[in-house]
Amino acid sequence: MAGFSLCGNLPQDTFEFLKHHDCPITAAHSTEVAFTAQQLAERFDIDCQQAEAAAWLHDISAVFPNWQRAAVSSQLGIEILPEEELVPLLLHQKISAVMAAEMFGVTDSKVLAAIRCHTTLRADPSDLDLLVFAADKLAWDQRGTPPYQHEMEAALDNSLEAAVWVYQRYLWYSGKIKMIHPWMRDSYEELKVRYEML
Ligand SMILES: [Fe+2]
Ligand SMILES: [Fe+2]
């Protein structure tokens, strides 16, 4: 927080904090995720404030480059799984949750939990977990339109969970997974049982 002071308005604070630390792309992405989260919250009758807070903060740990993430996690007392040690990018969700609590004063455990699993999801997710996960994927941080976007949006007509399953299945077969995180495996297997038994 050196050289930075919070004004108390979460959207402004997170946006400016990310810009202050030279992460303008993450600032723009977080803005889009927050917008998408708000739309999904209204659509699925989920608490809008929780959804937006989690969305604004989900990637706040982008201020730490990958090479620092294992050391930062150790300093913060975060448990590092073997998969996270091999792919430190996977640690950013846990670091974001600690930063949200300790630097931005978030005390809502549901918001912190949704931040903490926004990349991998987890078994038995809350509605807020599903919402933040889905919003992050719909407002993705790469150029162009996500290849899964149309199918995911169509699945939203059924449920948030159905949309999440579209993404999970896309990712699983995309060949883009560097490392299968155990939380992701749990989540994938849980949804697979539910959707492939239909
Ligand atoms: Fe992320
Ligand atoms: Fe993100």
Q: How confident is the model at residue 198 (pLDDT cuts 50, 70, 90)?
A: low
What ranges do the domains of the chain cover? Answer: 10-196
pTM above 0.85, yes or no: yes
* Residue 52: strand, helix, or coil: helix
Could you say which ligand is closest to the alpha carbon of residue 93? 1
Distance 139 CA to ligand 1 centre (A): 11
Q: Tell me which ligand sits closest to the C-alpha of residue 26.
A: 2
Task: Outline where 45-102 has alpha helix (H).
Answer: 48-57, 66-76, 82-86, 92-102
Distance 155 CA to ligand 1 centre (A): 22
Instruction: Output the CA 7–ligand 1 centroid distance in Å.
Output: 24
Percent of the chain clearing pLDDT 90 (strictly above): 91
CATH architecture of 10-196: Orthogonal Bundle (1.10)
pLDDT digits (tens, 9 = 90+) for 97-119: 999 999 999 999 999 999 999 99
